[in-house]
């Protein structure tokens, strides 16, 4: 159907670099730009980064390979992929599709805030050094009615226009623009931040580990950050993997994608923390880093407006590269399973997700008094269900299905293209996906439910 090319075969990535950039774009999102610097700031800087790298290899690479292999083997969407392994496992893919659907509904609201702040930067409205004034400005935006919904709509339109173009003409082509642009901007911003007077303390804080800071909370936070940063457990990598040709080098891609994602997170840390230290702000300021702290930093920086414009374009690129993968998970399912035309599926799903995002947006303003889960409005409820339940559960079941049901021998056979490729770490990976992955994700799952 509509996920087929002109010769009647399933669409495929046009190039290896196209897949790598699109998959890395799926992983690189708002979490890299505000959450990683915030988590590093909260957990002792270099100590957190060291633990993060260890867990990235043990868990991130393990699940990344498992998802891509499953997608390439089945050549199907997330639900179809699990069903091919065993009919009763289709529900695991359904968890991923539902997670992508829910996440995009509130992620798009935040993407809209980013567009709004880009507009504010271009009009000079953010040229303010007082963090309290900036905090009030941010509060006024998100508690509004029409303005945040308007920008939420703009973000969804940009997302569905890219996905509308298909794999080669839409997602791959846009990723080849978004990702290199993102890299250039974040490197420029990191260099600017690191050359500010007093920035050296921020650099040392991020890169020099203080082993006394490492405790169970740091390990658990790093584990959670790796898991959520890489877009694991929601079927994104299964869906993207399903468009890979049978001669692709999956083990190489499964290493490259997490490294790119982590490289961007580290550069974000180098762009944010030195500047925050240089101007005496709090390094663990949370989501306010993007919308409150950083605008105050830019306002005090020479040529600050120029760098601020660059920063919000960067954040927008990161948000879009993730949102297109979230929408593609849902579109691939509807196209494959319901045999719907791709354009109809994309427009319909984008519209429904936009509608679902309206109460998420209003939950900061007129609908703030409405709660679904105890103490949680629409936005926080959607976030909790997807991030704390669906994603960890999806990741846990992925390890069980690939490690125990389908079997690591079959997975390795697919990963090595029937033994044609060398995969030196295959036995170690098999051990990780069968034993380490389920235990680590189980811990994240229990902690996220309690948290």
Residue range 215-256, pLDDT digits in tens: 888 888 888 888 778 878 888 999 999 999 988 999 999 999
Tally the domains of the chain.
Answer: 1
Q: Report whether 376 contacts 89 (CB < 8 A).
A: no
Is 75 within a domain? yes
Q: What is the reported pLDDT for 22?
A: 92
Q: What's the CA angle centered on 12, arms 10 and 18, to 5 degrees?
A: 165
Q: Report whether 202 contacts 278 (CB < 8 A).
A: yes
Give me the CATH number covering residue 132: 1.10.4160
Is 2 within a domain? no
Q: Mean pLDDT for the chain?
A: 89
Q: What is the DSSP string of 86-141?
A: -GGGHHHHHHHHHHHHHHHHHHHHHHHHHHHHHHHHHTTTT----HHHHHHHHHHH
Is 80 within a domain? yes
> What percentage of the chain's residues is helix, strand, coil (to nearest 5)?
75, 0, 20
Using CB atoms within 10 Å of the CB of residue 6, give its burial: 0 to 12 exposed, 13 to 18 middle, 19+ buried.
exposed
Is 409 within a domain? yes
Most confident by average pLDDT, 52-61, 78-87, 282-291: 78-87
Helix (H, G, I), strand (E, B) or coil at 10: strand
Is 429 within a domain? yes
Q: Report whether 297 contacts 276 (CB < 8 A).
A: yes
Query: Of 66-70, 330-334, 426-430, 441-445, which range is least confident?
Result: 441-445
Is 159 within a domain? yes
Q: What is the pLDDT of residues 83-106, one digit of tens each?
A: 999 999 999 999 999 999 999 999
Q: Which residue stretches of 195-303 are H helix?
A: 200-207, 216-229, 236-241, 250-278, 288, 294-299
Q: What is the pLDDT of residues 339-394, one digit of tens each?
A: 999 999 999 999 999 999 999 999 999 999 999 999 999 999 998 898 888 988 99
Q: How long a stretch of residues is the chain?
A: 451
Is 6 within a domain? no
Q: Report whether 81 contacts 71 (CB < 8 A).
A: yes
Q: What is the reported pLDDT for 451?
A: 63
| Cα separation values, 371 from 102, 106, 145, 353, 368, Å | 17, 16, 18, 20, 8
Domain residues for the domain of 206 are 16-450
Give the separation between CA 344 and CA 335, rounded to whole angstroms.
Answer: 9
The pLDDT of residue 1 is above 50: no
Is 5 within a domain? no
Dihedral over Cα of 228, 231, 233, 234: its sign: positive
Q: Report whether 322 contacts 29 (CB < 8 A).
A: yes
**% of the chain beyond a pLDDT of 90:** 55
């Amino acid at each position: 159907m509509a996920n087929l090319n002109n010769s009647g075969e399933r669409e495929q990535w046009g190039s290896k670099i196209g897949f790598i950039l699109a998959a890395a774009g799926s992983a690189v999102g708002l979490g890299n730009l505000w959450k990683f610097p915030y988590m590093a700031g909260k957990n002792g800087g270099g100590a957190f980064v060291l633990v993060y790298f260890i867990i990235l290899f043990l868990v991130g690479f393990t699940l990344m390979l498992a998802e891509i292999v499953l997608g390439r083997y089945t050549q199907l969407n997330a639900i179809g992929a699990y069903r091919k392994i065993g009919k009763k496992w289709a529900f695991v893919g359904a968890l991923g599709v539902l997670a992508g659907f829910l996440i995009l509904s509130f992620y798009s609201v935040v993407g809209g805030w980013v567009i709004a702040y880009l507009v504010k930067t271009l009009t000079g409205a953010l040229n303010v050094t007082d963090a309290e004034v900036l905090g009030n400005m941010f509060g006024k935006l998100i508690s509004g009615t029409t303005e945040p919904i308007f920008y939420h709509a703009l973000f969804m339109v940009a997302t569905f226009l890219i996905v509308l173009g298909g794999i080669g003409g839409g997602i791959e082509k846009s990723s080849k623009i978004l990702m290199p642009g993102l890299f250039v901007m974040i490197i420029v911003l990191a260099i600017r931040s690191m050359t500010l007077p007093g920035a050296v303390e921020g650099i040392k804080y991020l890169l020099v580990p203080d082993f006394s800071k490492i405790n169970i909370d740091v390990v658990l936070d790093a584990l959670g950050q790796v898991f959520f940063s890489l877009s694991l457990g929601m079927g994104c990598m299964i869906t993207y993997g399903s468009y890979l040709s049978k001669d692709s080098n999956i083990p190489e891609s499964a290493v490259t994608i997490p490294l790119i994602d982590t490289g961007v997170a580290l550069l974000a840390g180098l762009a944010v923390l030195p500047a925050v230290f240089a101007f005496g702000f709090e390094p663990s300021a949370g989501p306010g880093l993007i919308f409150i702290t950083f605008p105050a930093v830019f306002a005090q920086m020479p040529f600050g407006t120029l760098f601020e414009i660059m920063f919000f374009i960067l954040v927008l690129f990161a948000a879009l590269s993730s949102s297109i993968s979230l929408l593609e998970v849902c579109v691939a399912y509807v196209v494959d399973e319901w045999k719907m035309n791709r354009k109809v599926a994309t427009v319909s799903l984008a519209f429904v997700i936009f509608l679902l995002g309206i109460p998420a947006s209003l939950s900061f303003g007129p609908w703030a008094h409405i709660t679904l889960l105890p103490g949680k409005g629409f936005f926080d409820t959607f976030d909790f269900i997807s991030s704390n339940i669906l994603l960890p559960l999806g990741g846990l079941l992925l390890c069980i299905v690939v490690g125990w049901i389908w079997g690591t021998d079959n997975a390795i056979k697919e990963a090595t293209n029937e033994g044609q490729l060398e995969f030196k770490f295959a036995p170690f990976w098999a051990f990780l996906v069968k034993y380490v992955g389920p235990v680590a994700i189980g811990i994240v799952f229990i902690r996220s439910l309690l948290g």
